[in-house]
């Protein structure tokens, strides 16, 4: 159940950022670099977990 919640918030974060045309994303997901915005533009991670 926790995994589904994390996936839901990830999808929500991506959808909102694309709708508002925001490329900077604060995320704890260390594998977030694989996700791309519309037209294959990468997101800019503003919080990098250690």
What digits encode the pLDDT tens for the residues 2-48? 788 878 887 887 788 888 888 887 777 777 777 777 777 787 777 76
Contact 48, 41 (CB under 8 A): no
| Model pLDDT, residue 16 | 85
| Model pLDDT, residue 49 | 57
| Model pLDDT, residue 50 | 63
Of 12, 40, 8, 37, which is closest to residue 23 (Cα–Cα)? 37
Of 23, 21, 16, 20, which is closest to residue 44 (Cα–Cα)? 23
| Model pLDDT, residue 2 | 78
């Amino acid at each position: 159940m926790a995994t589904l919640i994390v996936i839901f918030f990830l999808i929500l974060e991506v959808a909102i950022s694309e709708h508002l045309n925001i490329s900077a994303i604060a995320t704890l997901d260390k594998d977030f670099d694989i996700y791309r915005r519309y037209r294959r533009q990468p997101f800019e991670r503003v919080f990098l977990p250690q």
